[in-house]
Amino acid sequence: MCQPLVNVQRRLREGEPAFVCGNSSRDSIEGIMIDRVGRMRAGAAARRLSFAVLGAVALLVAAACSDASAPVKPPPPPPPPGDEVPAPPMPVCTGLSIICNVPLPTYDGSGQLVHPDVAVFPDGFAGHQFWLAATPYPNGNANLENPSLYTDDARHWMVPPGVTNPLITAPASPAHNSDPDLVYDPAAKGLRLYYRLTKDNVDDIRMRTSPDGSHWVDDQSVVSAPGIAIVSPAIVRMPNGQWSMWSVNAVHGGCVARSTVLERRTSPDGIHWSGPNPLAVTQSGYVLWHLDVQYIPSKGEYWALIAAYPVGSGCAADDLFFARSADGVTWQTYSTPIVARADYPAYASAVYRSTFYYDADNDAVRLWLSGAVFRDGSWAWTAATSRWRLADVMAKVTSPRPPLAAAPALPHPAVWNESSADAAQRDFP
């Protein structure tokens, strides 16, 4: 296990390790949730497999023990519970008190990923049960933030056959890619990858499709708006064939806006979209920044994970919140984060865009997280996964909110100016 050493802030300033691997003395976070909006469980009507889980996969990108100046080798991770179906790629760990290194290579060699998006297929899609899209983001370098794809094979993560990452080629700086979103389209029996291209002060939401996860075609623009007006698009394909897209409009201030607007678009086919409908969704004391949404058929509800930062800080100081809605328009939010910066040292600076999958058979949720800590003059990004019972999720988010954590000052000026080369490298779009 990895546990924080005492006086973490002093150690990070002085370049000392903030973690030690062994038995954690702090209360572990019991689990976390995931599976991206629009994830359709292939074959679920034919076969619902039971999986009860208290364990967790962790995708480690670059923080925790491997980054310590005097690392201690962690013990081997425990095996997954026998009834965890589908069993996620190894290694599997229990709770967020530990992080397991996952050999998930990035094309840039950094191993640092952000904005994970996972589609889970209990009965398999193209011979695999887990599909993950994410973007490298070493030290917040948006020039490398190009959507990449992974899947599972014999309980290990790998690049899918026929795929060379990045799946989406980098545009010329200061333009950059970001914010991938994987969705299964049962009508076409294939995957869709939506992503955001920010170029010439325009946010262009683009889409590629694949019948098998290996061969990708039809890179096309599906909706666009002024730059920073379509942040973190989250797309859902409903059982009735209709599509919805939620995104954050941050045109008034970008990464340091004092307020943003959650918007929703609709579409009959996921290609031709309506104009944005602003939603009256707020998170008291916070500014909405990134989100993931999923429709939960067994509950008849939409659920969301929302990364938001305290008013007056910036998008590098997020906590992660849970929200639910009966219609996708009116949302109930909760004042206590499901995961806060104070909960986990690897995310001491930001708990960023994360995603979730709901296991109706066991009333449990699995979360894939991404987040960062700023230390020694650079950002280290980490991805992890864990699992909670829904009852534990609700107990956490309905508990009294702890005092609002102080927002750290940004280590550099964060002025969004798309004409500046700095925009692609130093801001957090």
pLDDT of 84 reads 61
pLDDT of 357 reads 87
CA distances from residue 182 to 39, 126, 159, 382 in whole angstroms, order as listed = 8, 15, 15, 20
The token pair at 259 is: 């307020």
pLDDT of 93 reads 56
Q: Distance between terminal CA atoms of the chain?
A: 33
For the beta carbon of residue 362, count every other beta carbon within 10 angstroms.
Answer: 16
Domains and CATH numbers, the chain: 2-426 (2.115.10.20)
Encode the chain (429 residues) as per-residue pLDDT tens digits.
Answer: 333 333 333 333 333 333 333 333 333 323 322 333 333 333 333 333 333 333 333 333 333 333 333 444 544 444 544 456 677 777 665 554 455 556 678 999 998 999 999 898 989 999 999 999 999 999 999 999 999 999 998 878 899 999 999 999 999 999 999 999 999 999 999 999 999 999 999 999 999 999 999 999 989 999 999 999 999 999 999 989 999 999 999 999 999 999 999 999 999 999 999 999 999 999 999 999 999 999 999 999 999 999 999 999 999 999 999 999 999 999 999 999 999 998 888 889 999 999 898 988 888 888 888 999 998 889 999 888 777 889 889 999 999 987 765 555 544 433 333 333 333 333 444
Place of tokens 């960062």: 372
Beta bridge partner(s), residue 278:
263
pLDDT of 101 reads 52
pLDDT of 392 reads 87
Place of tokens 């906590």: 319
pLDDT of 365 reads 85
pTM: 0.77
270-302 in b/e burial notation, b at 16+ Cβ within 10 A? beebeebeebebbbeebbbbbbbbbbbeeeebb
State phi, psi for 143 to the nearest 5 degrees: -65, -20
